[in-house]
Structure 1
Amino acid sequence: MFREILIVLFFVPLLLTAQQKTNQKCKDVKRGAEQLPCKITNRYSIDIIPDKETAVKYADMLISNRELLSADKAKPYLVNLINDNKIWQVIIKSYNCRSCKIYININKNTGEILNFYKVED
């Protein structure tokens, strides 16, 4: 009898907490700067940034304000659609550093900046 009570008191809550942790596939709280979020928001019926030209204009504004680079000197950018055509990835070659690249990941639907980071190769 005492054994069954111990099993119920200790192992059942342990099993329940272990089961809850397996349901959490996404860990956006501790994601790195270069990792995309697990859930990409799709809020509007029309994309805010529908084409490459709009993504380039948006990236020009971002790098001129944040990285203090001249947009004309940093062009041409490499612009790709990633993650099932939901995210614009803009890769900018930094002219201040020989082997530096700036990556900007932008949500195509909402215009949200998902990542903005620099990589030195």
Structure 2
Amino acid sequence: MPPKFHAHRDKAIRKVDEIMGETLRHYPMINGMADAARVKTEFTAVVRSGQAEEKNVSGTSASWGSRITSGKTEVHISRLAYPDLLVKDGDRIVALDRPGEHRFQVAGINDRMHGRIILEVTEL
């Protein structure tokens, strides 16, 4: 990709993180226990909730009267700002800026995006 694209992409990511970013704490885990080989890290990233249609046990949320849903939550991390951050499936993330410090577990990682690592997380 041309360097001009990279410059615009990096500027856009920095600006989005500045406006929409939240302070998060990463807790490395291994087999459900703290991973002593990796350090806890605080970082800023964008947390997006409800990106996909919410589902419930019967299908779509519109097809059943239940309030039990499982919407999708993603954490968008800047590769430029945190090039050494190593997140693995099963790690925990705490949203420090939200009331009650919402806790999440990493359920999937998309590291194929140009400027971001995208974590799919589930709320604990």
TM-score by length of 2: 0.27
* Higher gyration radius (CA): 1
The structure that is helix-richer by fraction is 1
